[in-house]
DNA sequence: ATAGGGTTAG
């Protein structure tokens, strides 16, 4: 009798069960005393699922004839926690079919499942169900709804930059039935099951539909505005949703507004806001947030730490990034990635590699981001041996199907001179986004294979991937090097007319270079003069073309333009002097050299270096000591 | 029960 009271108390106050062991003891008691009470079994399921014991929960659940809401809800949540998303949805449908009315505890985890599945239609129909049941004012449910719509919008934006090859394929693959079995499906990789993958394909076509209807951030806003009571999670959710979808000003405005609700920004708020200032390269505002975080004791938070590292790195303050990183009490794979990427993005390749090794030594498992962050270090150091070693590592851990990782490999192999390997990897990727297209195009451009560049660029456009600023740099570089004047003009015009991209310095430089080498010096001069604020470098390259074509008159005009902003530009003096020399105008050469001596302008010697047998000797021009 | 940080091309 006493035992019975004890286990009843335990069941009524499930929180006092503090270990899996105690839960199993309770289970034994129930089996002894009331083995078939659905209420007690459901409570036990709830306890088991709180410990994330899916197997134990399912064993009990499967034995129930008509499971109560509590049992359904517990299993659904446990499914989601274990990444068994389709199963969680299937069980919800089964629950509806059985006539069991869901309570408001079911929806938050179910909506999370929809968000992770990126299944818009499903999410919206569950939203409908929530409204019909009158649960659209529940705080937790609304928070989960806003999170879901924000995630949909993000997934949709990502899909937009993919090739539509994937979308076309998925149009034939829409029949995914939700079977109601409660099996745990074999996992194909860390987080997804076979069914999950079917789902992911189906969503792509769902997403196309969103295109016609506009932003899902409107849905987030709608839910937010209708809420009667909002807690800090509500605010953080809507702020993060806006921040993640590029609505930076909206997000920052909401941060200011949350004070009116008597809610103060917490560590979640800050970690959503910091990436905005990183994107804006606003060191001042970023530091303000850093100060706020320190005053509120958030600076130990690994989330805040990672975003601070990222912010400082974006603002080219590697020293500050390192300091933030070093005082963090704990490092997870994301904070390691922040510092690795921070170093690499600022050209500190060796430091980046050192941190990568330290991460491995600290037994932190690298994730795909780790590899896509470190690979540019190999690419820029032209360290093929290292890149290959990492590639092997990538294959062994099964990250070679990741788009970011593959793109970085394409770039690395191309930069190391292995364009065929780069192409081989590119061809084996199942989706290409604009960056991966640009990487392979740039690879061929670097290798001077303009015909490949042009055909790949066309292929990219045909697959519905919008080229951006960098893509045009790549294609124009190739045209310029190959002397393809007509194609270059076509792309230059297409960039502005078809894509609305304002040509920048690099594009003008390609065109000017091309015109200059073709001897169309006046045309080049005209083009450069039409620029908003021509940089010195671009004038210098035209000046160099003037030297090649011995056009002294234009050279003088160009040099004048340079001296206007930089009267002591060494390169300009030397190029102009060389132009005079090429035209055999020796008096002018002497005059210039006299001027240079008077102004104290000296040519600094050029040098280059090369790796030979693990040593890297430098060669200063005119140096014959190595011979 | 619900919310946050890091990635690839110049």
Structural domains present in chain A: 66-228 (no CATH), 504-627 (1.25.40.10)
Confidence (pLDDT) at A605? 72
Among A290-294, A397-401, A491-495, A600-604, name the one with the lowest average pLDDT.
A600-604
Q: Between the CA of residue A492 and those of A181, A183, A405, A516, A522, what are the distances in Å?
A: 57, 57, 30, 16, 18
Confidence (pLDDT) at A211? 53
**End-to-end alpha-carbon separation of chain A, Å?**
100
Confidence (pLDDT) at A200? 47
Whether A122 has a pLDDT exceeding 90, the answer reads: yes
How far, in Å, is the CA of A198 from the C1' of nucleotide B4?
29
**Token pair for residue A134?**
């009158």
Whether A184 has a pLDDT exceeding 50, the answer reads: no
Alpha helices in A298-348 (DSSP H): 302-314, 318-327, 333-345
Q: Which residue is nearest nucleotide B4, judged by alpha carbon to C1' distance?
A: A268
Confidence (pLDDT) at A304? 98
Q: How far apart are CA A315 and CA A325, in angstroms?
A: 15
Nearest to A603 by CA among A626, A574, A624: A574
Whether A201 has a pLDDT exceeding 80, the answer reads: no
**Token pair for residue A47?**
């306890």
Residue A302 near residue A321 (C-beta atoms within 8 A): no
Whether A590 has a pLDDT exceeding 50, the answer reads: yes
How far, in Å, is the CA of A376 from the C1' of nucleotide B5?
22
pLDDT tens digits along A517-574: 899 999 999 999 988 888 888 899 899 999 999 999 999 999 999 999 888 888 899 9
Confidence (pLDDT) at A169? 42
> Which nucleotide's C1' sits nearest to the alpha carbon of A375?
B8
Q: Which residue is nearest nucleotide B9, judged by alpha carbon to C1' distance?
A: A439
pLDDT (average), residues A375-398: 98
Confidence (pLDDT) at A316? 98
In DSSP terms, which residues pair with A615 in a beta bridge?
A: A612
**Token pair for residue A338?**
């922040």
Q: How far apart are CA A467 and CA A500, in angstroms?
A: 11
How far, in Å, is the CA of A523 from the C1' of nucleotide B4?
53
* Phi, then psi, of A607 in degrees rounded to 5: -145, 160
| Band (A124; pLDDT cuts 50, 70, 90) | very high
- Sequence-separated (6 or more) residues with CB below 8 Å from residue A321: A308, A309, A310, A312, A313, A338, A339, A342
Among A80-84, A150-154, A181-185, name the one with the lowest average pLDDT.
A181-185
Q: Which residue is nearest nucleotide B5, judged by alpha carbon to C1' distance?
A: A303
Summary mean pLDDT of chain A = 89
- Sequence-separated (6 or more) residues with CB below 8 Å from residue A353: A374, A377, A386
- Sequence-separated (6 or more) residues with CB below 8 Å from residue A62: A182
Whether A174 has a pLDDT exceeding 50, the answer reads: no
User: For chain A, what is the radius of gyration of the CA atoms?
Assistant: 31
Residue A452 CB coordination number (10 Å) = 18
- Sequence-separated (6 or more) residues with CB below 8 Å from residue A171: A205
pLDDT (average), residues A617-624: 70
Q: Which residue is nearest nucleotide B8, judged by alpha carbon to C1' distance?
A: A404
Whether A595 has a pLDDT exceeding 60, the answer reads: yes
Confidence (pLDDT) at A262? 94
> Which nucleotide's C1' sits nearest to the alpha carbon of A115?
B2
Q: How far apart are CA A266 and CA A119, in angstroms?
A: 30
Element (H, E) at A68: none
> Which nucleotide's C1' sits nearest to the alpha carbon of A434?
B9
How far, in Å, is the CA of A202 from the C1' of nucleotide B5?
30
pLDDT tens digits along A11-64: 777 777 888 888 888 888 888 887 778 888 899 999 999 999 999 999 999 999
How far, in Å, is the CA of A237 from the C1' of nucleotide B3?
5
How far, in Å, is the CA of A516 from the C1' of nucleotide B6?
43
Confidence (pLDDT) at A195? 41
> Which nucleotide's C1' sits nearest to the alpha carbon of A103?
B1
> Which nucleotide's C1' sits nearest to the alpha carbon of A435?
B9
Q: How far apart are CA A553 and CA A486, in angstroms?
A: 27
Whether A110 has a pLDDT exceeding 90, the answer reads: yes
Percentage with pLDDT > 90 across chain A:
74
Strand B bases, protein C-beta under 7 A: 1-10
Nearest to A251 by CA among A261, A264, A242: A242
pLDDT tens digits along A422-475: 999 999 999 999 999 999 999 999 999 999 999 999 999 999 999 999 999 999
Q: At what angle do helices A333-345 and A349-361 cross, to 10 degrees?
A: 170
Confidence (pLDDT) at A549? 92
Looking at per-residue pLDDT, the higher value among A572 and A602 belongs to A572
How far, in Å, is the CA of A265 from the C1' of nucleotide B3?
12
Q: Which residue is nearest nucleotide B7, judged by alpha carbon to C1' distance?
A: A369
How far, in Å, is the CA of A547 from the C1' of nucleotide B3?
63
Confidence (pLDDT) at A164? 64
Q: Which residue is nearest nucleotide B10, judged by alpha carbon to C1' distance?
A: A470
How far, in Å, is the CA of A370 from the C1' of nucleotide B6?
8
Maximum distance among all Cα pairs of chain A, rounded to whole angstroms: 117
pLDDT tens digits along A233-280: 999 999 999 999 999 999 999 999 999 999 999 999 999 999 999 999
How far, in Å, is the CA of A9 from the C1' of nucleotide B1?
23
How far, in Å, is the CA of A374 from the C1' of nucleotide B7?
9
Percentage with pLDDT > 70 across chain A:
88
> Which nucleotide's C1' sits nearest to the alpha carbon of A376?
B8
Q: How far apart are CA A110 and CA A604, in angstroms?
A: 67
Nearest to A577 by CA among A567, A565, A563, A591: A591
> Which nucleotide's C1' sits nearest to the alpha carbon of A273?
B4
> Which nucleotide's C1' sits nearest to the alpha carbon of A243?
B4
Nearest to A103 by CA among A136, A61, A73, A126: A73
> Which nucleotide's C1' sits nearest to the alpha carbon of A446?
B10
Confidence (pLDDT) at A280? 97
How far, in Å, is the CA of A427 from the C1' of nucleotide B8?
16
pLDDT tens digits along A466-492: 999 999 999 999 999 999 999 999 999
How far, in Å, is the CA of A490 from the C1' of nucleotide B3?
48
Q: How far apart are CA A443 and CA A419, in angstroms?
A: 7
> Which nucleotide's C1' sits nearest to the alpha carbon of A235?
B3
How far, in Å, is the CA of A439 from the C1' of nucleotide B10?
10
> Which nucleotide's C1' sits nearest to the alpha carbon of A50?
B1
Q: How far apart are CA A426 and CA A456, in angstroms?
A: 11
């Amino acid at each position: 009798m006493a035992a019975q009271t004890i286990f009843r108390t335990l069941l009524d106050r499930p929180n006092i069960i503090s270990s899996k062991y105690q839960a199993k003891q309770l289970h034994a008691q129930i089996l002894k005393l009331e083995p078939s009470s659905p209420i007690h079994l459901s409570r036990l399921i709830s306890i088991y699922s709180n410990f994330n014991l899916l197997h134990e929960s399912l064993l009990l659940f499967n034995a129930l004839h008509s499971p109560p809401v509590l049992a359904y809800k517990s299993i659904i949540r446990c499914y989601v926690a274990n990444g068994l998303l389709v199963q969680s949805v299937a069980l919800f449908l089964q629950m509806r079919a059985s006539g069991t009315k869901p309570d408001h505890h079911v929806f938050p985890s179910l909506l999370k499942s929809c968000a992770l599945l990126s299944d818009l239609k499903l999410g919206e129909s569950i939203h409908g169900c929530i409204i019909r049941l009158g649960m659209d004012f529940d705080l937790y449910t609304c928070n989960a709804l806003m999170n879901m719509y924000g995630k949909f919008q993000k997934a949709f934006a990502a899909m937009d930059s993919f090739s539509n090859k994937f979308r076309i394929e998925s149009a034939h693959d829409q029949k995914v039935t939700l079977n109601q079995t409660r099996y745990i499906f074999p996992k194909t990789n860390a987080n997804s099951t076979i069914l999950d993958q079917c789902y992911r394909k189906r969503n792509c076509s769902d997403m196309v539909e969103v295109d016609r209807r506009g932003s899902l951030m409107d849905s987030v806003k709608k839910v937010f505005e209708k809420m009667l009571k909002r807690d800090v999670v509500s605010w953080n959710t809507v702020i993060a949703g806006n921040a993640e979808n590029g609505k930076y000003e909206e997000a920052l405005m909401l941060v200011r507004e949350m004070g009116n609700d008597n809610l103060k920004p917490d560590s979640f708020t800050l970690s959503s806001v910091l990436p905005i200032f990183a994107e804006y390269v606003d060191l001042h505002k970023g530091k303000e947030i850093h100060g706020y975080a320190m005053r509120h004791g958030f600076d130990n938070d690994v989330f805040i730490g990672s975003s601070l590292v990222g912010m400082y790195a974006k603002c080219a303050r590697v020293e500050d990034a390192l300091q933030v990183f070093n005082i963090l009490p704990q490092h997870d794979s994301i904070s390691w990635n922040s510092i690795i990427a921070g170093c690499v993005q600022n050209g500190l390749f060796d430091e980046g590699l050192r941190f990568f090794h330290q991460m491995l030594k600290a037994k932190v498992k690298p994730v795909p981001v780790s590899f896509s962050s470190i690979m540019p270090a190999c690419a820029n150091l032209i360290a093929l041996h290292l890149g290959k070693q990492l590639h092997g590592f990538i294959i062994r851990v099964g990250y070679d199907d990741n788009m970011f990782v593959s793109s970085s490999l394409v770039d690395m192999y191309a930069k190391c001179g292995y364009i065929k390997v780069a192409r081989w990897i590119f061809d084996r990727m199942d989706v290409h986004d604009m960056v991966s297209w640009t990487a392979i195009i740039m690879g061929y451009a670097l290798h001077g294979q303009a015909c490949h560049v042009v055909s790949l660029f066309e292929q990219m456009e045909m697959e519905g991937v919008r080229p951006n600023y960098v893509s045009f740099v790549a294609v124009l570089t190739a045209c310029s090097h190959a002397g393809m004047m007509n194609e270059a003009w076509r792309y230059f015009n297409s960039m502005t007319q078809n894509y609305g991209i304002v040509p920048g310095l690099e594009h003008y430089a390609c065109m000017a270079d091309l015109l200059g080498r073709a001897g169309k010096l006046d045309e080049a001069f005209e083009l450069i003069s039409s620029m908003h604020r021509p940089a010195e470098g671009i004038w210098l390259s035209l000046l160099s073309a003037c030297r090649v074509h011995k056009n002294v008159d234009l050279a003088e005009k160009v040099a004048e333009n340079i001296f206007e902003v930089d009267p002591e530009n060494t390169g300009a003096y030397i190029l102009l002097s060389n132009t005079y020399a090429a035209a055999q105008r020796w008096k002018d050469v002497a005059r210039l050299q006299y001027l240079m001596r008077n102004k104290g302008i000296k040519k600094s010697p050029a040098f280059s270096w090369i790796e030979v047998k693990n040593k890297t000797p430098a060669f200063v021009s005119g140096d014959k000591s190595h011979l």
